[in-house]
């Protein structure tokens, strides 16, 4: 995990960060605010420089002014102090460039002329031009053996396109210097899964099919497609959310303990999980996988349009905005343990959580009416509030209650337990790690490709059957069939929100 950069210090953040697409949505909405927060926390090396690249012809003052306005709009007023802002803006440089034209790249080389610190190239642009950019950086002599590249999701549309993009990146950067972002890996509680599982002997010994009956992962979004019809209708929820974020969560829940915290030790274990994911067969389609698409409805009392009425919609689209599935990991640790996953847009609230359902005691001695209650659950909440709760059974208090059981949480709410600790945005952590040259929170090529392979298999089966998605009203928890999918196993989605 620890690497040395050219400035000689392990984990130093002294880099030149070169941001392609610096005026785009991601850069303005997420990356500059994250970098500002790193500045404010004193985590940026004083010598670190930031170069913004974009097609539009801003001069440096115009660019700084644009970034300042974005920060004023995105950073909470109490966190935006003028001194930090001035220090941050002073780090920024700007060059206008058409990324697909090799001629302009000499200007980047010039900008770097006397710099000895590593260059981190962040590609905040569509993946279809990653190849051009990497090639032009290489042929124009901008790269050396310390240069790193950060790439955004989605990496491709399927295994074949993803392999093409990865090949183009690999022609300029070795895998050890490629940082593939999955922003879920930057979320505090997601990283906490590693601490929770591997630092607590209590869980370490129980984390297998002998003690866990099933696992649930819900990633519900209140938002719809947010004006991104062009992208989303080609992708759908499986490619947009399952191929990356949900499968990464499955990996962190299901992987075996890595030998150490080195990036490759962790990623080797994640790949084993992806390889062991159960493939879907035709007979599972109706039973174990449900695709849905939202119709008009209301959320928080506000009317919202259906998917087919969104701006720019093709009213015949069968693209799914919701997926629920029952899958599993075919190995000794997880044999017979279903993993129920569901994710959708326009659900009643934003909620991302993992629920580990432990098995019941082998011999039950309490009130037979309470038998269903008698199992522990570990609820790991990623958002909106981050926290971990272990549901335990205790005796109901009161003289008249006998040995009746009561279910209650041993609850760790990060905001109230550690009130002074600001929970950083995922991009803050990811940017910090890439500047330090640490890869453990980034996705390796084989992870991306195994995840695509598994999704491609499901998509091919869907395409063959060509069934329209089931409708669900915006503001609901998805199609009724997604509830039937889990109740057919005598279980239900965890609803104690
Ligand atoms: N926005 C988000 O929340 C998320 C984005 N991503 C990924 O991040 C990446 C960036 O997304 P996003 O910021 O939304 O995209 P945008 O389209 O908003 O930004 C991309 C920027 O790159 C510029 N650009 C494109 N082609 C060229 C070119 N040939 N020369 C110079 N500039 C060019 C665009 O300029 P112009 O406008 O002039 O074309 C635009 O400013 C994508 O890979 C996306 O999939 C991933 C997760 C979330
Ligand atoms: O990558 C993506 O993630 C967001 C959801 O991210 P979150 O951190 O808000 O949970 C999703 O809305 C978007 O469609 C997808 O591309």
pLDDT at position 411, please?
77
Report the pocket of ligand 1 as residue ranges, CB < 6 Å. Answer: 21, 23-27, 54-56, 98-100, 124-127, 129, 152-154
496 in a labelled binding site: no
The partner residues of 406 in beta bridges, in order of sequence, read 394
Angle between helices 247-254 and 263-276 (to 10 degrees): 100
Q: How far apart are the first and last CA of the chain?
A: 37
Secondary structure string (H, E, C) spanning 180-197: ECCHHHHCHHHHHHHHHH
| Ligand 2 pocket mutation pick from 182, 221, 232, 242 by most atoms within 8 angstroms of CB | 221
The partner residues of 50 in beta bridges, in order of sequence, read 17, 92
Strands in 178-180's sheet, in edge-to-edge order, are: 92-96, 49-54, 16-20, 119-123, 148-151, 178-180
Say which residue the tokens 């004193």 belong to. Answer: 42
Quick check: 311 and 484 in contact, CB under 8 A? no
Q: Using CB atoms within 10 A of its CB, is residue 132 exposed (0-12), middle (13-18) or buried (19+)?
A: middle
Residue 351 makes CB contacts below 8 A (sequence gap 6+) with 218, 219, 220, 381, 383, 384, 497
**CATH number of this structure's domain 16-152:** 3.40.50.720
- CATH architecture of the domain formed by 185-488: 2-Layer Sandwich (3.30)
Half-sphere exposure in the Cβ direction for 76 (13 Å, CA)? 7
pLDDT at position 285, please?
84
With H, G, I as helix, E, B as strand and everything else as coil, classify residue 383: strand
pLDDT at 301 over 60: yes
Q: Which spans in 177-312 are helix H?
A: 188-199, 201-204, 229-237, 247-254, 263-276, 285-288
What ligand 1 atom has the least distance to the C-alpha of 26?
13
Q: Which one of the ligands is nearest to 344 CA?
A: 2
Taking alpha carbons only, the member of 231, 234, 253, 242 closest to residue 378 is: 253
State the DSSP H helix or E strand holding residue 119, giving kind and residue range, or none if neither: strand 119-123
Q: Which one of the ligands is nearest to 101 CA?
A: 1
Quick check: 256 and 274 in contact, CB under 8 A? no
CA dihedral 453, 457, 458, 463 (to 10 degrees): 130
Question: Per-residue confidence at 497, pLDDT binned at 50, 70, 90?
Answer: low
Tell how far the Cα of 126 is from the centroid of ligand 1, in angstroms: 6
pLDDT digits (tens, 9 = 90+) for 55-91: 977 899 999 999 999 999 999 999 999 999 999 999 9
ipTM value > 0.90: yes
pLDDT digits (tens, 9 = 90+) for 221-262: 999 998 899 999 999 999 999 999 999 999 999 999 999 999
**What DSSP designation does 315 have?**
T
30 in a labelled binding site: no
316 in a labelled binding site: no
State the DSSP H helix or E strand holding residue 438, giving kind and residue range, or none if neither: none
99 in a labelled binding site: yes
Tell how far the Cα of 470 is from the centroid of ligand 1, in angstroms: 32
**What DSSP designation does 471 have?**
E
| Ligand 1 pocket mutation pick from 125, 137, 231 by most atoms within 8 angstroms of CB | 125
Taking alpha carbons only, the member of 78, 77, 70 closest to residue 35 is: 70
| Ligand 2 pocket mutation pick from 241, 249, 347 by most atoms within 8 angstroms of CB | 241
Q: Helix count (H) and strand count (E) of the chain?
A: 17, 17
What ligand 2 atom has the least distance to the C-alpha of 184?
8
pLDDT at position 373, please?
81
pLDDT at 344 over 80: yes
Q: Which two tokens stand for residue 49?
A: 């420089």
pLDDT at position 371, please?
86
Which of 24-38, 276-290, 344-358 is predicted least confidently? 276-290
Minimal-distance CA residue to ligand 2 atom 8: 184
Residues present in the chain in total:
497
Quick check: 439 and 153 in contact, CB under 8 A? no
Minimal-distance CA residue to ligand 1 atom 17: 24
Q: How far apart are CA 389 and CA 380, in angstroms?
A: 7
422 in a labelled binding site: no
Taking alpha carbons only, the member of 70, 3, 42, 31 closest to residue 428 is: 31
State the DSSP H helix or E strand holding residue 414, giving kind and residue range, or none if neither: helix 414-417
345 in a labelled binding site: yes
Indicate if 245 belongs to the active site. yes
Tell how far the Cα of 155 is from the centroid of ligand 2, in angstroms: 15
Tell how far the Cα of 299 is from the centroid of ligand 2, in angstroms: 18
Q: Which one of the ligands is nearest to 30 CA?
A: 1
Which of 102-111, 292-301, 366-375 is predicted least confidently? 366-375
State if pTM tops 0.90: yes
Taking alpha carbons only, the member of 61, 70, 122 closest to residue 94 is: 61
State the DSSP H helix or E strand holding residue 226, giving kind and residue range, or none if neither: none
pLDDT at position 2, please?
38
Quick check: 155 and 235 in contact, CB under 8 A? no
User: What are the φ/ψ torsions at residue 490 (nearest 5 degrees)?
Assistant: 75, 25
Tell how far the Cα of 413 is from the centroid of ligand 2, in angstroms: 23
Gyration radius of the chain's alpha carbons: 24
Quick check: 20 and 142 in contact, CB under 8 A? no
Quick check: 326 and 338 in contact, CB under 8 A? yes
State the DSSP H helix or E strand holding residue 232, giving kind and residue range, or none if neither: helix 229-237
Report the pocket of ligand 2 as residue ranges, CB < 6 Å. Answer: 221, 223, 240, 352
pLDDT at 6 over 60: no
pLDDT digits (tens, 9 = 90+) for 267-279: 999 999 999 999 9
pLDDT at position 10, please?
53
Tell how far the Cα of 441 is from the centroid of ligand 2, in angstroms: 17
pLDDT digits (tens, 9 = 90+) for 206-215: 999 999 999 9
| Ligand 2 pocket mutation pick from 152, 182, 232, 245 by most atoms within 8 angstroms of CB | 245
How do the domains of the chain map onto residue ranges? 16-152, 185-488
pLDDT at 7 over 70: no
Angle between helices 82-91 and 60-74 (to 10 degrees): 140
Q: Per the residue annotation, which of 58, 136, 214, 245 is the catalytic one?
A: 245
């Amino acid at each position: 995990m620890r690497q040395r950069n050219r400035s000689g210090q392990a984990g130093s953040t002294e880099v030149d960060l070169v941001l392609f697409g610096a005026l785009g949505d991601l850069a303005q909405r997420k990356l500059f605010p994250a970098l500002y927060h790193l500045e404010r926390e004193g985590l940026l090396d004083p010598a670190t420089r930031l170069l913004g690249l974009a097609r539009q012809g801003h001069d440096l003052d115009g660019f700084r002014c644009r970034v300042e306005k974005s920060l004023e709009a995105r950073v909470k007023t109490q966190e935006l102090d003028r001194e930090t802002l001035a220090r941050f803006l002073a780090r920024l440089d700007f060059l206008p460039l058409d990324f697909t034209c090799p001629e302009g790249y000499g200007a980047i080389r010039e900008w770097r002329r006397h710099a000895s610190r590593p260059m981190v190239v962040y590609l905040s642009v569509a993946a279809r031009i990653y190849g051009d950019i990497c090639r032009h950086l290489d042929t124009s002599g901008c790269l050396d053996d310390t240069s790193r590249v950060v790439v955004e999701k989605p990496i491709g549309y399927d295994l074949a396109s993803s392999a093409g993009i990865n090949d183009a990146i690999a022609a300029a950067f070795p895998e050890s210097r490629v940082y593939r972002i999955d922003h879920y890996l930057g979320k505090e509680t997601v990283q906490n899964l590693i601490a929770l599982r591997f630092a607590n002997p209590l869980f370490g010994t129980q984390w297998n099919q002998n003690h866990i009956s099933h696992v649930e992962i819900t990633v519900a979004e209140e938002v719809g497609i947010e004006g991104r019809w062009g992208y989303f209708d080609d992708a759908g929820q499986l490619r947009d959310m399952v191929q990356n974020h949900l499968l990464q969560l499955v990996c962190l829940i299901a992987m075996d303990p890595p030998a150490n915290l080195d990036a490759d030790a962790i990623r080797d274990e994640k790949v084993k999980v992806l390889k062991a994911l159960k493939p879907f067969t035709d007979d599972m389609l109706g039973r174990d996988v449900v695709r849905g698409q939202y119709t008009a409805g209301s959320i928080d009392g506000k009317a919202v349009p259906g998917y087919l009425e969104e701006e720019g919609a093709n009213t015949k689209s069968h693209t799914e905005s919701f997926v629920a599935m029952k899958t599993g990991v075919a190995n000794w640790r997880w044999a017979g343990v279903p993993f129920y996953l569901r994710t959708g847009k326009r659900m009643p609230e934003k909620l991302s959580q993992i629920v580990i359902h432990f098995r019941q005691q082998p011999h039950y001695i309490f009130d037979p009416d309470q038998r269903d209650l008698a199992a522990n659950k570990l609820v790991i909440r990623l958002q909106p509030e981050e926290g971990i709760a272990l549901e335990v059974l205790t005796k109901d208090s009161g003289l008249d209650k006998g040995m009746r059981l009561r279910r209650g949480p041993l609850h760790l709410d990060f905001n109230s337990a550690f009130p002074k600790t600001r929970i950083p945005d995922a991009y803050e952590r990811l940017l910090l790690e890439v500047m330090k040259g640490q890869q453990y929170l980034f996705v390796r090529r084989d992870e991306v490709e195994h995840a695509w392979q598994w999704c491609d298999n499901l998509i091919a089966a869907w395409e063959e059957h060509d069934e329209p998605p089931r409708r669900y009203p915006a503001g609901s928890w998805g199609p009724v069939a997604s509830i039937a999918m889990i109740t057919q196993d005598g279980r239900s989605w965890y609803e104690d929100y």
